[in-house]
């Protein structure tokens, strides 16, 4: 990678890390409030779908960009798996650690960058990333890195905001997401920038079909997706070929 490219990537990573550090304390509250609690249902579905492909117990799952750990907990409870959470933002991990201690959930947390995961090749039966992929400076390289740490036959689940697919609803949602949400999120979190960044980053992110194609290009097999709540979000699943 050229020095210029590296510098651009580092700058992007620093900006994203600082932004999440600023909103870490309010992150959970705002997530549940601004999504009308839908985020909880979406994460529960990720765990259920992974349980279908991996079974229960005796599996090792990596939750990348785990943030405050809600998906890690859901995987731990639903799949009874050995779950490891990783994220590059210490204040988000601190909140996850407190939550896990309170629930007595044995989920190790490791500080690390999703583009350079601190794990050996073929280490996990399952890898998840929820609302994290969109934040990476290079989505395709991020997917290749997730593929690298998966065992052959292992499953990837990507939960991410997507493009609403119901015309009238799509219009209303856009108004909410680009106008009301940045206003309320900015006021309650104290970071206008973070809640302007949210709709901006979603608008730059590939839609459902494009993401499925990107996953295939990155080397995943049996790629499929499911629209959630009219396509506000989507769950993409893929498998590392044997
Ligand atoms: C919107 S939050 C999602 C957190 C959690 N997965 C959830 O479902 O609520 C995005 C998270 O991605 C993390 N993140 C962004 N870029 C990252 C990177 N390159 N490496 C590791 N973590 C990253 C941020 O620190 C933040 O905690």
Residues with CB under 6 A from ligand 1: 13, 16-17, 20, 65-67, 70-71, 87-89, 92, 113-115, 130-132, 135-136
Element (H, E) at 40: helix 38-54
**8 A C-beta contact, residue 149 and residue 117:** yes
Atom of ligand 1 nearest to the CA of 71: 8
**CA 168 to ligand 1 centroid distance, Å:** 31
In the chain the beta strands, taken as DSSP E runs, fall at: 60-64, 82-87, 109-111, 124-130, 150-161, 221-228, 233-239
For ligand 1, the distance from its centroid to the CA atom of residue 92, given in whole angstroms, is 8
Residue to mutate, 20, 41, 63, 65, ligand 1, most ligand atoms under 8 Å from C-beta: 65
Radius of gyration of the chain (CA): 17
Integer Cα distance of 68 and 229 in angstroms: 23
Per-residue pLDDT, 186: 87
C-alpha angle 107-108-111 in degrees, rounded to nearest 5:
135
Q: Out of 135, 142, 143, give the residue to mutate to test ligand 1, the one with the largest number of ligand atoms within 8 Å of its CB.
A: 135
Ligand 1, atom 23, residue with closest C-alpha = 65
Q: What is the pLDDT of residue 238?
A: 98
Please report the pLDDT score of residue 218 as a whole number: 98
Taking the centre of ligand 1 as the mean of its atom positions, its distance from the CA of residue 135, in whole angstroms, is: 7
pLDDT value, residue 216: 98
CA of 65 to the centre of ligand 1 (A): 4
Q: Are 63 and 72 in contact (CB under 8 A)?
A: yes
Kindly give the number of the ligand 1 atom that is closest to the alpha carbon of 21.
25
Pocket probe for ligand 1: among 68, 88, 144, the residue whose CB has the most ligand atoms within 8 Å is 88
Residue numbers in the chain where pLDDT is lower than 70? none
For ligand 1, atom 14, which residue shows the shortest CA distance? 65
DSSP type of residue 221: E
């Amino acid at each position: 990678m050229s020095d210029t490219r590296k510098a651009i990537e580092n700058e992007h990573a620093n900006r994203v890390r600082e932004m999440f550090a600023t909103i870490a304390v309010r992150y959970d509250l705002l997530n549940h409030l601004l999504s009308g609690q839908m985020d909880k249902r979406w994460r529960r579905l990720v765990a259920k779908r992974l349980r279908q492909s991996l079974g229960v117990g005796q599996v090792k799952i990596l939750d990348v960009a785990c943030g405050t750990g809600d998906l890690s907990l859901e995987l731990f409870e639903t799949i009874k798996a050995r779950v490891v959470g990783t994220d590059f933002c210490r204040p988000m991990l601190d909140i996850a650690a407190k939550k896990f201690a309170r629930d007595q959930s044995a989920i190790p947390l490791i500080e690390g960058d999703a583009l350079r995961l601190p794990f050996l090749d073929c280490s996990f039966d399952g890898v998840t990333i929820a609302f994290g992929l969109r934040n990476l400076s290079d989505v395709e390289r991020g997917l290749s890195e997730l593929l690298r740490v998966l065992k052959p036959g292992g499953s990837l689940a990507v939960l991410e905001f997507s493009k609403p697919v119901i015309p009238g609803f799509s219009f209303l949602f856009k108004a909410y997401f680009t106008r009301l949400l940045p206003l309320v999120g900015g006021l309650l979190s104290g970071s206008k920038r973070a809640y302007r960044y949210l709709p901006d980053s979603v608008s730059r992110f590939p839609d459902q079909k494009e993401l499925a194609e990107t996953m295939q290009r990155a080397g995943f097999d049996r790629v499929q997706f499911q629209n959630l709540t009219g396509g506000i979000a989507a769950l993409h699943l893929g498998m590392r070929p044997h």
